[in-house]
Structure 1
Amino acid sequence: MHSNDAQMLVLTALAGGPLHGYAINTAIEKLTGARLGPGSLYGALARLEARHLIEPVTGRADARDRQRTVRITAAGRETLRAELEQMTRVAQAGLRALGVTPA
């Protein structure tokens, strides 16, 4: 899985409210049927936090703490919205090209 895909999945999971790593992966599994590996999940979390798209709910800054709860920021919500709108346009164009009427 591409790192941007993992980041989008994490943002999507967090759009519903703050979660810790295991809960994020559980939400991703419900959405996609597959879990992210620890490197993909925690790498995506680190990149998203560095870009200020997510932030810790508590003041703890230890990235190795797998029970650390994080939430999506306003910038993260805007990034997620823009990416989902672009993905929707691409999906609709692809379905039209295949002769399938988009829902």
Structure 2
Amino acid sequence: MKGKFSEPPLLILISLAEKSCHGYAIMEDIEKNYDIKLGPGTLYGAISRLEKAGFIHMLESDDRKKVYELTDAGRNHLTDQIKEIQKVTALGTKRLGLT
């Protein structure tokens, strides 16, 4: 079984870490950088959960597009998640003898 890492909320937070953007731009960023195509239901479901958790929030906009921004709590959560992934990766790499 071969597959790609695909955790939509984490990918969304990573996308928003660099700059605020709307849902379609997030979807394009994830597809471009990870070659993962998120459907609108997956994307907006994850965005909704991230908003409820306080990790992102919607910015005021005169445009129809909803622009999202990473909050301080979201930045802290993303940092913690990346550190955890690094620990798991380091252990896996060590156990496989790749270091």
What one-letter code is carried by the residue in structure 2 that aligns with 1:19?
A: C
Q: What per-residue deviation string (whole Å, max 9, x for no partner) do you get for residues 40-87 of structure 1?
A: 100000000011110011168xxxx6x200000000000000000000
Say what the alpha-carbon RMSD is for the aligned residues. 1.7
TM-score (norm. length: structure 1): 0.84
Task: Note the residue ranges of structure 1 that are not aligned, 5 or more in a row.
Answer: none
Identify the match of residue 97 of structure 1 among 79, 95, 98: 95
**Residue correspondence of structure 1 range 18-97 to structure 2 within 5 A:** 18-58=20-60, 67-97=65-95
**Paired positions, count:** 93
TM-score (norm. length: structure 2): 0.87
Structure 1 segments (4+ residues) deviating >6 Å: none
2:17 is matched with which residue? 15
Q: Is the 8 A contact 2:61 2:67 kept in 1?
A: no
